[in-house]
Amino acid sequence: MKIDYRLVEEAAKELYLRALKVLPPDVKEGFARLAAQETTPIAQRVLATMIKNISVAEDTDNLLCQDTGVPIYNVSIGTNVDIDGIALKRAIRDGCARATVEHPLRSSIVHPLTRKNDQTSCGVEVPVIHVDWSETPDTLEIEMIPKGSGSENNSFLKMAIPAEGVDAIRTFVVDCVLAAGGKTCPPTIVGVGIGGTSDLCVALAKRAATRALGTHCSDPEGTKLETELSAAVNALGVGPQGLGGDSTAFAVHVELAATHITMNPVAVNMQCHSARRARATFTPSGVAYGF
Amino acid sequence: MAHFDLTPPISEAHVRALKINDTATLQSTLFGLRDATQIHLFDRGRRTRFDLRGHAVIHTAPNVKPVEKSAAHPAGYAPICVGTTTSDRMERFTRPLMTQYGVRIIIGKGGLREDSLAAFRELGGVYLAIIGGTAALETTWIEQIEDVDLDDLNPESLWKFRVCGFGPLLVAMDSHGGSLYDVVRNDAQARRAQVLQSLGVKPE
């Protein structure tokens, strides 16, 4: 399959705008589930306002949240796809900048030392572009995630040791949720990375935090931990916006990787309640948009 | 739990009437600022021409569209999406906002800490919680961007919004030492041991 990079650029632009405006159905269902279970009056009001905002954004064709986030594009290349990686990255970057200038969007990206904003949502290494491969033939998938900073600022890594066991992981996750309080815009998706190296562990946490609600860790031990930690963090009572209640997290998601015999790393990355993502799928019959 | 309709500038006595769990809706004028705005105001010696005495500020950096100046858009900006950012990063600016500029109301999300609470108590101020991440709704309460200062910091300029029915907002920190965030944080911390026990974690 040949790739038309003008279409990739167009999709990169379209994906950023779609992600900012329409929440995926699994997140909407997550809200409905929390609202039905919530017992605290303040939290019920907060959740109702969040749910109302989702429909106001759709009705007024506006952004769900003012934070346009750090633009992240996850590319998955199937078999039999003829790809020029440099052209692909350039097209994504150009599409991201066009969304920012043409809509216009707030460019939230600055140089880390000078704090200079180029007003394009682009900078050194941003948009973040991850490339991976899949076994699906004749398919190119691009997932776009505008990662909000309120939740991203609450990212944690602990290089625990083997003697501390899984208890160190459980304790760390609970303590991260406590430390984050209302700053992450709860209810959140708490992403937990376990194992790997320090950098892989943090990347796994991000992958977990941005995974669709209702999906589970492919490892049964990871799934078990997801279930017990989801119940645990919601028993803390932090609640939506840190104002108290049962709805602290939609879920705890776990992703894991093998690690070294001397290591026991755990990372936490959080996704705020505006759990935004959009997806474009390129096949020989054209481009299809979804979540 | 009372509801207040506030049209700033408001007096110290007025702000001290607000208690945690009350609600408030703001009318007329609201100023927007955030990290860079306050770094420049308080760390780099810059000043604003705006009179903030008795006024409300919100922790924000909006999405705006540059347009021709007109009666509808006197600052040359149309609001696209105006939301709220996490307040905690701006904790150390609460006191100088109040002592140097006379601000009485801070609107934000996620809450502020001990020194802000002390400043509210000593000087007469409140923190009103808005629901973070609900910017589409919040934007419908913004009538106009009336003026802008320190605009080289765009989008972290000092914005002057004209608002109508901005709220309801929750009084989450008051001038009597009350903070809903402290209550929730202390309760959550108190539950920690029990939660860890439910996970089978051996006590430290």
The 10s digit of each residue's pLDDT in B59-85 is 999 999 999 999 999 999 999 999 999
Domains of chain B in sequence order: 3-179 (3.20.130.10)
Shared domain check, A243 and A207: yes
Token representation of residue B98: 């109040």
Q: What is the pLDDT of residue A222?
A: 98
Q: How many CB atoms lie within 10 A of CB B186?
A: 11
Closest CA–CA distance from residue A177 to any residue of chain B (Å): 10
Question: Do A121 and A141 reside in the same domain of the chain?
Answer: yes
Separation of first and last alpha carbons in chain A: 23
Residue type, B115: D
Q: By the CB < 8 Å criterion, does B186 face chain A?
A: no
Q: Is B76 exposed, middle or buried (0-12, 13-18, 19+ CB in 10 A)?
A: middle
Residue ranges in chain B modelled with pLDDT below 50: none
Q: Does A241 touch chain B (CB under 8 A)?
A: yes
On chain A, the residues whose CB falls within 8 A of the CB of B154 are 117, 119
CB < 8 Å from B in window 130-189 of A: 148-150, 153, 167, 170-171, 174-175, 178, 181-185
Say yes or no: A134 and A237 in one domain: no
Nearest to A66 among B83, B184, B201 (CB): B83
| Sign of the Cα pseudo-torsion (A155, B42, A109, A50, in order) | positive
Q: Which domain holds residue A252?
A: 150-271
**Is residue A123 domain-resident?**
yes
Q: Cα(B202)–Cα(A64) distance, rounded to whole angstroms? A: 42
Q: Are residues A15 and A129 in the same domain?
A: yes
Determine, for residues B131 and A57 on separate chains, whether the beta-carbon distance falls below 8 Å. Answer: no
Average pLDDT, chain A: 98
- Chain B residues near residue A184 by CB distance under 8 angstroms: 110
| In the predicted structure, residue A53 carries a pLDDT above the cut 90 | yes
**From the CA of B177, how many Å to the nearest CA of chain A?**
17
Contacts A–B by Cβ distance under 8 A: 173
Q: Residue A87: inside a domain, yes or no?
A: yes
Kindly provide the b/e burial profile for residues A19-39, where b requires at least 16 CB atoms within 10 angstroms of the residue's own CB. Answer: bbbbbbebbbebbeebbeebe
- pLDDT tens, position by position, B75-112: 999 999 999 999 999 999 999 999 999 999 999 999 99
Q: What is the pLDDT at residue B203?
A: 81
Cα-flanking dihedrals φ and ψ of residue A24, to 5°?
Answer: -60, 150
| Residue A12 in domain | yes
Nearest C-alpha of chain A: how many angstroms from B195? 6
Largest Cα–Cα distance in chain B?
Answer: 67
Same domain, A93 and A138: yes
* Minimum distance, in Å, between the CA of residue A79 and any CA atom of chain B: 39
3 state SS of A126: strand
Neighbours of B136 (CB within 10 A): 26
User: Same structural domain for residues A171 and A265?
Assistant: yes
Rounded Cα distance, B38 and B34, in Å: 6
> Considering only alpha carbons, which residue of chain B is nearest residue A109?
B155
One-letter amino acid for residue A21 of the chain:
K
Q: What is the ipTM metric for this complex? A: 0.94
Q: What is the pLDDT of residue B204?
A: 74
User: Domain for residue A215, yes or no?
Assistant: yes
In a domain, A112, yes or no: yes
Identity of the residue in A170, A238, A243 whose CB atom sits nearest the CB atom of B172: A243
Regarding whether A267 and A187 lie in a shared domain, the answer is: yes
Query: What does the pLDDT look like over A231-263, one tens digit per residue?
Result: 999 999 999 999 999 999 999 999 999 999 999
Q: Is residue A103 part of a domain?
A: yes
Judge if A211 and A256 occupy the same domain.
yes
Q: Name A116's Cβ contacts closer than 8 Å, sequence gap at least 6.
A: A110
Residues A143 and A159 in one domain: no
Percentage of chain A exceeding pLDDT 70: 100
A197 and A232 both lie in a single domain: yes
Domain count, chain A: 2
Instruction: Please answer yes or no on whether A178 and B129 come within 8 Å at the CB atom.
Output: no
Is there a single domain that holds both residue A177 and residue A214? Answer: yes
Specify if A53 maps to a domain.
no
CATH number, position A68 = 3.30.1330
Rounded average pLDDT over A54-82: 98
**Pick from A46, A171, A233: which is nearest to B131 by CB?**
A46
Angstroms from B121 CA to nearest CA on chain A: 21
Same domain, yes or no, for A207 and A171?
yes
Is A42 part of a structural domain of the chain?
Answer: no
